[in-house]
Structure 1
Amino acid sequence: MNDRTPECWNLLDDNAAAIARIFGQTIPRPLRELGSERARALANTEAPPEPITPLNQVDQLTMSTRAGAIAARLYRADGATGGDFAPAVVYLHGGGFVLGTLDGADELCRGIAAGSGWTVVSLEYRLAPENPYPAALHDCVDAFAWLIRNAPELGIDPDRIAIAGDSAGGNLAAALCLHRRDAGLPLPRTQILAYPAVDDTFTAPSWTEFADAPLLSAADARWCWEQYVGPNHPGGDQFAAPLRAASLRDLPPALIVTAEVDPLRDDAEAYAARLWRDDVPVILTRYPGVFHGFLSEVTLFPQAKHAIDEICLYLREFAQR
């Protein structure tokens, strides 16, 4: 970070501002200047040696897709909701389509499983730029279908599977819902999207207001998008940018979480508004004083704990419907 603190940083609470300064020292150059390999080395988070949230069952899975096998991780809490066949939520990690690992989402998935009683299945989809769009979406679509087929063997109710994700994972979760709706396939029971990347126009006010936000600047977010879709993508594709869909009708109910200081904030909130206008039940919560990526930093942000509690309550209530 340069000597001038961006004005938008004044909206951060003291804790988030301190964390932003630490991140700025850990990742001293913009992601777009580092490139994908160096950015992964600096920014990807490893799981702690001892988990903060212990669970009796954490299993490694391999799922079949059209491009081959992908890794996944299953988390099941004690006394899981639903008896022999529990509801499950498929979780798609963030990272701008370029970064992110199962380990980086490990504590978040543990917290959701422990707090909700739902089984959580976290996917290791392929990353860009080595695997550009639609590779990651194909992985998620195929893995979701695989989970439905194999659910009983895993102690999961195939009729009660939800989808969730943050950032790029939120994009993929929303796109998966659109894909299954348009294909006439059974939909996820609900969708949980944390600051999802849903538009490719980059014109909402937050792209300017929070251009110099911590961790993910507007320029870095656009660079990540370019790695994902490649240089010749025409834009306007609803499965790449779900906000561009002509209609959001008949999609699953949604919980959408946003961060106050985030270039993606207005796009995510516009997606919530579109869902509401198209008669899809939606809950939108903006968390003040924090920046993009806060949800997966469970040990750093009190707001992450509050958001996980909100997600868990939402899932517990949804399981009773």
Structure 2
Amino acid sequence: MTQPLWQSLLDEEARQVARQLADLLPGPLHNLGLQGVRDFAAPLPPPRSTTMAAVRDHRVGVPAVLVREYCPCPSEQPASPTVLYVHGGGFTVGSLDGVDELCRLIAAGAECTVFSVEYRLAPEHPYPAALDDVRTAHAWLTANAAALGVDPHRIAVAGDSAGGGLAAALCLDLRDRGLPQPVLQLLAYPAVDDSFERPSWTEFADAPLLGTEDARWFWRQYVGEAGVAPDVLAAPMRAASLRGLAPAHVITAEVDPLRDDGEAYADRLAEEGVPVTRQRYRGVFHGFFTEVDTFTAAGTAVTDACGRLRDVFESGLAANQRTSMPSA
């Protein structure tokens, strides 16, 4: 049997996981159907758990959105920089538990508080329900910053896959409503386009875990069977302009149908004057960023992301100190 061309690109860890996935999935993921996909994607208990000073659940807005707070430091510390994290899962699966350890690692590594959003899932709640929930969580966070011990001038947004697309859409929405931008948008292989036409969609059509037809299926759950984005906030690459958006750190996986879309989005941001750092991680496939106990590259990517977050948080703190200094 001929091996797919991408097989030689995977590192040993990824090849082993790909073999395990092939044994579990005799065909494309979406062939399992909605409930089957959700059962398959349900998170297992994490093998480790990074200790936090506190973990709290909040229910905010109407309808209520569950937001989980991760505090790495005692509450008597000064106002904390913050990340609003949006999980992935094709807008259809995924949960707070699936990114629990990742959020703990970001909180510890970037020395910040993390708020993770449990948004409503498609197809029961199609676009724009998920984005509405992310908006609600962000508005609550900014409005209640003082009570939460959060520095309102040092809030970043982050997400992986569908969550990366939602984080990017939030930045566009804030800009278009004349509201302040986050200090950083951290986007891991974000779902930002619905054209499915860049080379990686063909090159990695049968990649492990998520192939091209799987991605199309997830997209239809989100926007409807016609598969057409109702507006630019569903597919941020469609925006006429990306000027004025938050600085970005874009993470992609080498073997991933979404790879070229994420990198094209990073290119557009840079071309339109947005500061961008980007990193393609070799030898891994879609979904690696959240699997910190499986892929060495995930640990590297999280460490790199935390370094980028610390940089912008320190810059934001310095700027706040300058603006608060009394004039001579």
2:46 is aligned with 1:52: no
- Indicate which of 24, 33, 36 corresponds to 1:35: 33
The one-character-per-residue Cα deviations of 1:83-131 (angstroms, maximum 9, x if unpaired) are 4210100000011111111010001001000111010000000111111
Dislocated runs of 4+, deviation >6 Å? none
Deviations 1:267-300 (A, max 9, x none): 0000000000000000010000000000000100
Instruction: Indicate yes or no: 2:264 matched with 1:238.
Output: no
Query: Unpaired segments of 5 or more residues in structure 1?
Result: none
- 1:16: Cα distance to partner? 0.4
Report the AA paired with residue 307 of structure 1.
A
Give the superposition deviation at 1:151: 1.7
Q: Give 1:57's aligned amino acid.
A: A
Contact in 2 for aligned 1:204/1:266 (Cα 8 Å) = yes
Q: Distance in 2 between matches of 1:92 and 1:270?
A: 21
SS in 2 for 1:45: coil
- The letter of the residue matching 2:144 is N
Q: 1:44 to 1:297 in 2, by over 3 A?
A: same
**Secondary structure of 1:263 counterpart:** coil
Aligned positions of 1:81-96 closer than 5 A = 83-96=77-90
TM-score normalized with structure 1 length = 0.94
Residue 177 (structure 2) aligns with: 183
Q: TM-score, normalised by structure 2?
A: 0.92
186-195 or 70-79, which moves further after superposition?
A: 70-79
Is this contact kept in 2: 1:116–1:313, CA < 8 A? yes
Render the CA deviation track for 1:205-260: whole Å, top value 9, x for unaligned: 00000001100001101110111111246437210111111110000000000000
**Distance in 2 of aligned mates of 1:276 and 1:79:** 38
Aligned to 2:301: 307
Q: Which amino acid aligns with 2:59?
A: T
Provide the C-alpha distance between the structure 2 equivalents of 1:108 and 1:47, rounded to a whole number of angstroms.
Answer: 13
Give the corresponding residue for 1:6.
4
Q: 1:14 to 1:171 in 2, by over 3 A?
A: same
Residue of structure 1 in register with 2:154 after alignment? 160
Indicate if the aligned counterparts of 2:219 and 2:227 stay in contact, CA closer than 8 A.
no
Query: Is residue 165–residue 191 contact of structure 2 (8 Å, CA) maintained in 1?
Result: yes
CA distance in 1, matches of 2:174, 2:290: 27
Q: Indicate the residue corresponding to 1:206 in structure 2.
A: 200
CA distance in 1, matches of 2:135, 2:105: 24
Q: Deviation at 1:136? A: 0.4
Residue 78 (structure 1) aligned with residue 76 (structure 2): no
Q: Distance in 2 between matches of 1:215 and 1:188?
A: 31
Alpha-carbon displacement from aligned partner over 1:295-318 (angstroms, at most 9, x marks no partner): 000100000000110011111111
- C-alpha displacement at 1:265, in angstroms? 0.3
| CA RMSD, Structure 1 to Structure 2 (Å) | 1.6
1:26 aligns with 2:24: yes
- Contact 2:269–2:275, Cα closer than 8 Å, also in 1: yes
Amino acid at match of 1:179: D
Q: Is the Cα–Cα contact under 8 Å of residues 53 and 74 in structure 2 kept in the other structure?
A: no
Q: Does 1:108 align with 2:96?
A: no
Shift of 1:5: 3.1
